[in-house]
Amino acid sequence: MNKKVVIGMSGGVDSSVAAIILKNQGYDVEGLFMRNWDSTVNNDYLGNPNLNNNICPQEQDYNDAKAVCEKIGIPLHRIDFVKEYWDYVFTYFLDELEKGRTPNPDIMCNKYIKFDCFIKEAKRLGADYIATGHYAKMVNGYLCRSKDTNKDQTYFLSQLNQEQLKDVLFPLGDIEKDEVRQIAKEYGLITATKKDSTGICFIGERNFKEFLKNYLPNQKGKIINIETNEVVGEHIGLMYYTIGQRRGLDIGGNSERLFVVGKNLKDNILYVALGEDNKYLYSDSCIIDGINFNCELRPTKCTAKFRYRAKDYPVSLEYLNNDEILVRYDNIKSVTPGQACVLYVDEKCIGGGIIKEVRKNDEKLWYLL
């Protein structure tokens, strides 16, 4: 009897091709579509020229997933995790924004929804394994980078533990995106040329500012040049900005290249400085909490990625306690509170944590939260 795999079908090309690969490998494959957001709430996607406004994006994704499953001959199940997503992912997202930090909800979505709620439902359906369309791979029990380094998604899987990864298959780990598109075309899939999803995990492509107004108050405040202490403009709410940002500052008539370098939550100030290499953007260490390791490795030297698709940097680790690690590095730009610091030993992604505090010369940067 063939082993059963339940794969998360998102309605995108990656999960579509992952399902084909699994079926061709001889597994008994079933699809499971997750509905994690009530698309009838705050449907400000209406009017987006990139979307079909006759149907909400989530339902379009379900229809696409259903069409793919029918095409390749596998059943598709559907389940709602709307409450779980709100409780474990969206509430976290709002709390972090309210603190002025820059959260990564996709990481928490993987931790609490795709590799927790989903696994439980897949096991209920009799799965021996679960699978997703992530670009990653498991090698001898270790989570490793995918062949397609540009699409590698181990950064987003860094909060998963050993138990969550135990029965996971990543069919796309050894192929590249162009090949995925080609396979989809060969099978005549509706998702073959479908645009990759963007925006907040499961909430999708929206007018971010309009969307957040439904949940967090919009508090305008001063934009101050940290070098001159001059007020150069007005921000629309600290939650809309991240460290290193240049576009979208709307500083009227100011053609200088000003970059966001910090935030003062207490006084509702957004700090900027001139030039992409100004000293205020750089740090040499940070403290991370929310620590997760997915294997037995506990290095004192490794590499770290501070943003998705950023390059790795050599780092040294000082284990302060069970909950925090001091990460030291040479000057790096735009290390940002709330973002993930993901740790690698060669090709292995061993886990990581969330950036709590950013430092320089062993002092917390006063202009960062």
Which tens digits make up the pLDDT trace of 81-119? Answer: 999 999 999 999 999 999 999 999 999 999 999 999 999
Question: What average pLDDT does this structure show over 180-204?
Answer: 85
For residue 336, give every residue at least 6 positions away whose Cβ sits within 8 Å of its Cβ, in sequence order, or none: 101, 102, 242, 243, 244, 306, 307, 355, 358
**What's the pLDDT tens digit per position in 133-143?**
999 999 999 99
Looking at the domain that runs over 282-364, which CATH code has it been given?
2.40.30.10
Q: Which pLDDT band holds residue 40 (cuts at 50, 70, 90)?
A: low
Amino acid identity, position 310: A
pLDDT at position 12, please?
A: 96
Residue located via tokens 């498991």: 138
Angle CA(329)–CA(330)–CA(331) in degrees, nearest 5?
Answer: 115
Q: Is the pLDDT of residue 47 over 50?
A: no
The number of residues making up the chain comes to 369
Dihedral angle sign, alpha carbons of residues 49, 52, 57, 62: negative
What is d(CA 3, CA 323) in angstroms, rounded to the nearest whole number?
Answer: 39
- Report pLDDT digits (tens) over 319-332: 998 799 999 999 99
d(CA 97, CA 100) in angstroms, rounded, equals 5
The candidate with the shortest Cα–Cα distance to 349, out of 184, 188, 135, 183, is: 135
R_g of the chain computed on alpha carbons? 22
pLDDT-derived band at 122, boundaries 50, 70, 90: very high
Query: Looking at per-residue confidence, does 86 or 202 come out higher?
Result: 86
> Is-contact 64 194, C-beta < 8 A?
yes
- Asked: is 217-274 a CATH 3.30.1490.120 domain? The reply is no
Residue with tokens 């590499």: 303
Helix (H) or strand (E) holding 156: none
pLDDT tier for residue 297 given thresholds of 50, 70 and 90: very high
In the predicted model, is pLDDT for residue 25 greater than 80?
yes
**Domain extents for the chain?**
4-208, 217-274, 282-364
| pLDDT-based confidence at residue 213 (cuts at 50, 70, 90) | confident
Q: Residues of the chain with pLDDT > 90: what percent?
A: 83
Active-site residue, from 109, 117, 302, 349: 109
pLDDT exceeds cutoff 70 at 45: no
> Residue 42: what pLDDT?
55
How does the average pLDDT of the chain come out, rounded? Answer: 92
What span, in angstroms and rounded, lies between the C-alpha atoms of 350 and 295?
Answer: 6
Side chain identity, residue 163? E
* Known catalytic residue at 117: no
| 201 catalytic residue (yes or no) | yes
Residue closest to 26 by CA, chosen among 61, 62, 54, 2: 2
One of 56, 69, 144, 201 is an active-site residue; which one?
201
- Note the pLDDT of residue 50: 46
Better-scored residue on pLDDT, 45 or 209: 209
- The confidence band for 34, taking pLDDT boundaries of 50, 70 and 90, is very high
Query: How high is the pLDDT of residue 55?
Result: 61
pLDDT tens, position by position, 222-258: 999 999 999 999 999 999 999 999 988 878 666 578 9
CATH of domain 4-208: 3.40.50.620
57 within 8 A of 39, measured Cβ to Cβ: yes
Residues 264-280 have pLDDT tens digits of 999 999 999 999 999 99
The pLDDT, as a whole number, for residue 214 is 87
